[in-house]
Structure 1
Amino acid sequence: MISTKSLSRRGFLNMGAAAGASLILPKTGVIRPANAAGPLAPVVEADAHIAFGHTGPTSDEGWTWAHDQGMKAVEAAFPALRTSYVESIPYSADATRIFRQFVADDACMVFATSNYGDFLYDVAKRAPEVAFYECDGRNPMDNLGTYYVAHWYPSYVAGIAAGAMSTTGKLGYVASFPVPSVYSGTNAFLMGARTINPEATLQSIVINSWFDPQAATQAGVALIDAGCDVLFGIMDEAGYLQVAEERGAKAVMWNTDLRRYGPNAYISSIMVDFGPWYVEQVRRRLAGEWMPTYDLLPFGAGVDVDAWGDSVPADVAAKADAVKATILDGSFNPFMGEIKDSKGTIKVAAGQTMTEEELYHWNWSIEGVSGLDN
C-alpha cells in the first residue's frame, strides 16, 4: 500500500558534472553517462508528485527513518507538491510493481532509498520523462542518478575511539550482506582502531538483512561470546546496542542517535542527513534543471559522527576529534597505502591513496577483518 503525504529545509559533494556534460568522478577518470537530450522539462510545484521507495519501515529509527526525515524536509520546502512512499519494499518482482505504480500515479521524481538494481532499472528505462535516483546505486542512466554517503571517514574516526576503549582488542561487526558499504565500514573502522592498537582485529557476522532486530541481537550475543568487547554494524535498529548494554560491552551505531537504548554502551553513531540534498534535487526537478548526477554526501555535510557517549573518556574523544579535524581540512587521508587484504596481498601500494570511487566500490577485507571474504 502506498502512503501519501500531501500539501505539506532541512552541501554535498557532486561526483558528477554540470548539466549537459558527462559525469566524471574525481581522481579516477571514470565517465558516467549524461542525458544527451538535456534536462527534463520543468514541473509546476502544485502538479508535482515526488515518490520514495524504502527498504525498511519509516519507524526503524535508522536508515529509512533518516530518508523519511529527508522527505519531510522536501514537504516543508515545497508545500504545494505531493509526496508518497512505500516502506519495506522486498527485493523481488514486487519492487518492480511498486516502482511502476509510482510512475502510473504520475510521479515526476522517484527516489529508491536503497539499491534495487534490475527491479528499478527496467522501470526507469520505460519512463524517460521521470527522474529517478537510486541510493548506493551502481548503474546510472540517462534519467537515473545515484547518491550515497562517504561513511568510511566517520567510521574511521569512530574506530579510533573503539580501539582506545577496547580491552580485548577484538571488535565485532553485525553485517547485513557482504556488499561494498559493509567492506568500507569494517575496513575503515578497524583501520581507525589500529592507530591505537595495531594488533586489533574485527570479526563480522552476516545476517542477510538490513532490518532484523532478532538476528542482529543474536549476532551481537555471538560476537561478545567470542570475546569482542566493542560492536559496530550497519543495521537499522538498536538490537546489538542493547546487547552491549546488557553485557557490559560498547557499541558504535549507524544512522541516528540511539544512545537511549544503551546509554552506558554507546560510543557514537554514524549520522546521516539527506534533507538538504533531497531539497536541492527536487528544486532542480521543478525548475527544469535536473539531469542525473552521481553524488556522494561528504563527511561533515551529510554524514558525520554523533556526539560522543557519556562513557567515552575525554582524552579519547579529543584524540578522535583531532583526527576528524585533519580529515575535514584535507591535511590527512586515512586511506593511504600500504594496505593489504585479508590474504596478505598488497592492494594499495605505499604512497598511493584510495580514490572516492575505490572506497565506494570497496569489495575486499583488509588484514585483521574476518567473516566477509570466502
Structure 2
Amino acid sequence: MISIKSLSRRGFLNMGAAAGAGLLLPKTGLVRPAFAEAPLAPVDVKDAMIAFGHTGPVSDEGWTWAHDQGMKAVEAAFPGIRTSFVESVPYSADATRIFRQFVADGANMVFATSNYGDFLYDVARRAPEVAFYECDGRTHMDNLGTYYVQHWYPSYVAGIAAGAMSKTGKLGYVASFPVPSVYSGTNAFLMGARTVNPAATVQCIVINSWFDPQAATQAGTALLDNGCDVLFGIMDEAGYLQVAEARGAKAVMWNTDLRRYGPKAYITSIMVDFKPFYVEQVRRRLAGEWTPTYGLLPMGQGVDRDAWGETVPPEVAAKADAARTKMMQEGWSPFVGEIKDSKGTIKVAAGQKMTEEELYHWDWSIEGVSGLDA
C-alpha cells in the first residue's frame, strides 16, 4: 500500500535511491545522470509512437490539459508521428496494465504525467528499449527520467501581489492533499505576502482531490466566510475563482489562464508549459540521442506567473515583478532563514538558504499557515 502522499501527481514516492552525480544541462535545470547507459537506438518518425498516461481528464483546463498541449506540440513538430493517451489513470494495478499496454502497442516513449511509482517502474524494468519519463518522480533508471517545475518561485511572486491587494491580511488556500507541492506553494505564497503585510496568514482547506469543482467551490466559500479575501489553490479547474468573482474577492490560480471565469477576481496563475520539454525529449529519442534526465524546470522555462489580471494595480505588479526579475536575472532566492514551522520551531537557521532539493521536498508549514499540519 502507498501513502496519501504517494497518491498526488505532485507528491513523492520514496521507493528508490536518487541518481548520483550527473551533468547539469545548460538552461534547463535538468541533470543527465552519470550512470546512464548509451543512448537508445534511433527511431524513424514514421515508426515512432509516443504515449501519455494522465492523472485527470484532458478537458480539465488545468494540469492534464497542459500536458495534452505538450502532446499536441509533439504532433505539430513531428508530422506523421503516432501518439496515444489515456485519461484519468488510476493509482492502482490498472495503471500498470495501461502502461504495459502502451509498450505492447509499440510505444517508443512513455510519459507518465503524474507520480505512479511502482505501477510504472515494473513496466519500465521489463521494457529497457522504451524511454520512460515520470512527472514528479524521484526514481531513476537507465530508461526512466523525471521532471517537475520550480513553482515555489512564481508562487512567491504571486504572494507579493496577493498580500498587497488583501484588505484583511487573511489569505485562503484550497488544497488537494497535504503533499510537498502544497506545502511549498502555501509557504512561498505567504512569504511573498509578508514582504508587504507582515501580519498576513494563510488558512488551508484540504479537499482530497485534484479535480472536484463542487468541493473546491465549497472550500472557497468557507474560506471567504471565515474572513479571507484572497484565494489561492492547486486545483485543476476554476471553482474557487468563480466564488471569488461572485463575492468580490481575489484569486490566484494554478496551471493555466482561467481569467475568463472571474476577470475581476483574477490576479494571476502559476502557469505550467511542458511543450518545449516534450518536443526536445521526443527529438532526442528519434535521433538516437536519448538518455534519461531528471530535475526541475526553472521559472521562465516550464513555469512562470501568468499575465496580471485587469484589476491588479500597476504599482503592485511592478513590486511583484521586481522580485521575479531578481530571481531570473540574479538567481536570487527568498527562501533564506530564519524560518520557523507552524509550531514555532526553527527549521532553517538564520542566513541559511534552502536548497532546491529541500524546496522540492518541503513537508512542513511555516508560521502563519494553518490547516495542513496535524
- TM value normalised by structure 1: 0.91
Measured in 1, the distance between the counterparts of 2:36 and 2:59 equals 40
Q: Give the superposition deviation at 1:23.
A: 3.0
Distance 1:331 1:103 in 2: 41
Q: Contact conserved, 1:160 with 1:194, CA < 8 A, in 2?
A: yes
User: Which residue of the partner structure matches residue 214 of structure 1?
Assistant: 214
Give the Cα–Cα distance (whole angstroms) in 1 for the partners of residues 229 and 235 of structure 2.
Answer: 18
Q: Provide the rounded CA distance (Å) in 1 between the counterparts of 2:65 and 2:36.
A: 35
Q: What are the Cα deviations for residues 4-32 of structure 1, in whole angstroms up to 9, with x where unaligned?
A: xxxxxxxxxxxxxxxx9943789xxxx99
The amino acid of 1:23's aligned partner reads: G
Judge conservation of contact 2:33–2:293 (CA < 8 Å) in 1: no
Which residue of structure 2 lines up, in the alignment, with residue 340 of structure 1?
Answer: 340
* Matched residue, 1:267: 267
The Cα shift of 1:35 comes to 4.8
Alignment partners' CA distance in 2, 1:98 and 1:289: 27
Distance (Å, rounded) in 2 between the aligned partners of 1:330 and 1:352: 18
Distance 1:178 1:271, change over 3 A: same
Query: Does the 8 Å contact 2:32/2:292 carry over to 1?
Result: no
Are residue 327 (structure 1) and residue 337 (structure 2) matched?
no
User: Contact 2:37 / 2:291 at 8 angstroms: preserved in 1?
Assistant: no
**Post-superposition shift, 1:101?**
0.7
* Cα deviation, residue 318, structure 1: 0.9
- Residue 65 (structure 1) aligns with: 65
1:34, distance to aligned residue in structure 2 (A):
5.0
**DSSP 3-state at the match of 1:358:** helix
2: distance between equivalents of 1:126 and 1:206? 37
| Length, aligned pairs only | 351
Contact kept, 8 Å, 1:25 with 1:357, in 2: the verdict is: no
User: Does the 8 Å contact 2:23/2:34 carry over to 1?
Assistant: no
Gaps of 5+ in 2: 1-18, 26-30
CA distance in 2, matches of 1:110, 1:327: 33
Q: Which residue pairs with 2:168 in the alignment?
A: 168
Distance 2:82 2:296 in 1: 26
* Distance (whole Å) between structure 2 residues aligned to residue 59 and residue 36 of structure 1: 36
2:11 is matched with which residue?
A: none
Instruction: Give the letter for the 1:85 counterpart.
Output: F
In structure 2, the residue matched to 1:6 is none
Measured in 2, the distance between the counterparts of 1:227 and 1:21 equals 48
> 1:146-165 maps to which residues of 2 (within 5 A)?
146-165=146-165
Does the C-alpha gap of structure 1 residues 25 and 343 become closer, same or farther in structure 2, counting only changes over 3 Å?
Answer: farther
Tell whether the 8 Å contact from 1:34 to 1:141 is kept in structure 2 after alignment. no
In structure 2, the residue matched to 1:187 is 187
Q: 1:241 to 1:274 in 2, by over 3 A?
A: same
The CA deviation at 1:122 is 1.2
2:22 counterpart residue number:
23
Distance 1:168 1:208 in 2: 27
Amino acid corresponding to residue 251 of structure 2 in structure 1? A
Match of 1:7 in 2: none
- Structure 1: gaps (5+ residues): 1-19
After TM superposition, list the pairs within 5 Å mapping 1:227-238 onto structure 2.
227-238=227-238
Q: Which amino acid aligns with 2:180?
A: P
| 1:312 alignment partner, SS class | coil
- 1:141: which partner in 2? 141
State the alpha-carbon separation in 1 of the partners of residues 368 and 20 from structure 2: 42
**CA RMSD of the aligned region, Å?**
1.7
Alignment-derived partner of residue 277 in structure 1: 277
- Equivalent residues in 2 for 1:7-22, closer than 5 Å: 22=21
Q: 1:36 to 1:72 in 2, by over 3 A?
A: closer
Residues 165-187 of structure 1: CA deviation (Å, up to 9, x unaligned): 11111111111111111111111
SS of the residue corresponding to residue 95 of structure 2 reads: helix
Paired amino acid for 2:235: M
Letter in 2 for 1:344: G
Tell me, in whole angstroms, the C-alpha distance in 1 between the residues paired with 2:36 and 2:359: 29
> What is the letter of the counterpart of residue 252 of structure 1?
V
Matched-pair contact (CA < 8 Å) for 1:251–1:265: yes
The answer to whether the Cα contact below 8 Å between 1:157 and 1:320 also exists between their aligned partners in 2 is yes
2:56 corresponds in structure 1 to 56
Please give the per-residue CA displacement for 1:108-148, whole angstroms capped at 9, x wherever unaligned.
Answer: 10001111112111111111111110111122222111101
Q: Secondary structure at the match of 2:330?
A: coil
Given that 1:54 and 1:86 are in contact with CA atoms closer than 8 Å, whether structure 2 keeps it comes out as yes
**SS where residue 89 of structure 2 aligns?**
coil
Tell me how far 1:80 sits from its aligned partner. Answer: 2.3
- Check conservation: 2:172, 2:224, Cα contact below 8 A: yes
Contact 1:34 1:142 in 2 (8 A): no
Correspondence for 1:293: 293
Confirm or deny: 8 A CA contact 1:110 1:133 kept in the other structure.
yes
Identity of aligned residues (%): 82
Deviation of 1:295 after TM superposition, in Å, equals 2.9
Are the counterparts in 2 of residues 335 and 353 from structure 1 also a CA contact under 8 Å? Answer: yes
How many angstroms apart in 2 are the aligned matches of 1:116 and 1:36?
22
* Structure 2 counterpart SS, 1:38: coil
The residue aligned with 2:15 is none
| Helix, strand or coil at the partner of 1:232 | strand
Distance 1:75 1:32 in 2: 25
* Letter matched to residue 245 of structure 1: E
Secondary structure (helix, strand or coil) at the match of 1:162 reads: helix
Which deviates further from its counterpart, 253-262 or 120-129? 120-129
Contact 1:23 1:293 in 2 (8 A): no
